[in-house]
Chains A and B, each alone.
Chain A
């Protein structure tokens, strides 16, 4: 696995032009996640309506992998149900921890398929997971009826 394969054009495209970036109102839950080993930080908001995710907005500081992964994630989960997003999380996590042995369904995962290369770089797995972990946390908080980050 070469570094060129890691930094695929799709990833760098999301890094250049982050989809759904910026913090927006209204929102139901806001979470703040960090990666203490490198200092990457992410504030992420989720808004829901009738069980559907109507918006994911975020403010992030971090490397290209974490920023692009958050961007691609937001495109995938907006418009779907919380349950769908949590299932996507499970599949993405299984792939990213699969050391290159697990692949994603392109129909389901779209641009996020480009992160399969990250699975070969264990040190970068946390980067690719930051946005996913934040959205999962936010959705679980919505489901638990929590409105404030505790």
Chain B
């Protein structure tokens, strides 16, 4: 284990965190949406553009070689970061959604009626709609894990109902729910999938940024995540897949650099990962992601994870004292990540968000790209506070203060609505 870092020192790398919103200091509690970026990442991207910019692979001059090397170094760094055995297993995409769409499009290419794809009701829309599209193209059937009332995957119910069976071809679930914060037993589900010969895909958008990642321990065949939640730039995501699986799959998008030989009568395709990277890739973004990986690795993913647990348990305890506040999902720290969704009795999440924003506290209000989960929980929408490696106890205190202010603001003004105490 690396040593515990000093959060106040870390925050000096994030100039945006010293911003003020009106009369208040910024309290950024929307990191599950996108994380803030340290200076080191921004400088690496700008240094790449200012000193090394060229296209990759096809440009043969010095700058072209430098850019290609920087791009491929980033690939190697990602592979190391997630415990992949070869860098050729790392495909760069524009975000996690594209990574999941790539997975769905290629894995479902040979499916047909009678085949089944399994997701869960707690997924982000990206891990639902991509598979709905693939199923409607191929005639395969989409099925899903339900959740327990506590907000955990209902594994027992799935076993009872034979959710994963001999017709199952693909199982795709989130490592950590972007709404509930639940850490799902991915390795166990992967075992269930593999027992029936199905491919296991994991949406690591929230997991990879919060926990140390080892694809072998996760037990999955594919893992999707995005750079911008990991202190990296927007515009770059990753799909990792075992080399043998990737090599067996057809291309996704057609274009430059994904081919071997192109003739007007037909083409042959490059080996992975290039087969899945048509066109000019996100080069500077890969450089930025590489720097982000260096940054979080220097702090230590085990320490970041420990910090998130500390902040989340502090927030869960403090939120219990806010009038009319209900937490969605697990209220203890067992298998729980750094995101807390909640409702305030009688006050719509949009209005909560607005009041908090007026005090400099940035949270998300709405369905967080997870409408089926909100339907399942019987709530129209919710508020979400999410934390990261730079979040402080003082920020949680400001959240609580702003929530109390919100209750007071609306309870005075909406006295006759009966909803607010």
Binding site for B on A (CB under 8 A): 2-3, 6-7, 9, 12, 15-17, 37-41, 61-66, 121, 124, 127
Contacts and interface: CB of A to CB of B under 8 A. Distances in A.
A2 B355 CA distance: 10
B350 A38 contact: yes
B354 interface: yes
Contact of B358 (A3, A38, A40, A41): A3
Nearest to A37: B366
- List of 7 A-B pairs having minimum Cβ-Cβ separation, nearest first: A63-B350, A3-B358, A38-B366, A63-B348, A39-B367, A39-B381, A12-B413
B366 A6 contact: no
B358 A2 contact: yes
Contact of B381 (A9, A12, A17, A38): A38
B233 interface: no
Contacts of A15: 414, 417
Contacts of B366: 37-39
Interface of B: 348-351, 354-355, 357-358, 365-367, 371, 374, 380-381, 409, 413-414, 416-417
15 contacts: A3-B355, A3-B357, A7-B351, A9-B413, A15-B417, A37-B366, A38-B349, A38-B366, A38-B367, A39-B366, A39-B374, A62-B350, A63-B348, A65-B351, A127-B350
Contacts, number: 52
A3 B414 contact: no
Contacts of B374: 39
A124 B355 CA distance: 13
Given A2-B358, A12-B414, A16-B416, A64 B367 contact: no
A39 B414 contact: no
A115 to B, nearest CB: 14
A64 B416 CA distance: 14
A3 B352 CA distance: 11
A6 B357 CA distance: 13
Given A7-B413, A9-B413, A16-B417, A62 B358 contact: no
Contact of B365 (A12, A38, A41, A64): A38
B383 to A, nearest CB: 11
A39 B354 contact: no
Contacts of A6: 354
A113 to B, nearest CB: 19
Contacts of B417: 15-16
Given A16-B416, A38-B365, A38-B367, A64 B358 contact: no
Contact of B354 (A3, A9, A16): A3
B366 to A, nearest CB: 4
Contacts of A65: 350-351
Nearest to B406: A3
A9 B413 CA distance: 8
Contacts of A124: 350, 354
A37 B174 CA distance: 21
A64 B417 CA distance: 12
Given A9-B413, A39-B381, A63 B367 contact: no
A57 B337 CA distance: 43
A117 B357 CA distance: 16
Nearest to B419: A16
B16 to A, nearest CB: 19
A7 B348 CA distance: 13
Given A3-B355, A3-B357, A16-B417, 7 more contacts: A2-B358, A6-B354, A7-B413, A16-B416, A39-B374, A41-B380, A127-B350
A64 B419 CA distance: 13
Contacts of A38: 349-350, 365-367, 381
A12 B420 CA distance: 13
B401 to A, nearest CB: 15
B414 A16 contact: yes
B34 to A, nearest CB: 15
A39 B380 contact: yes
Nearest to B364: A38
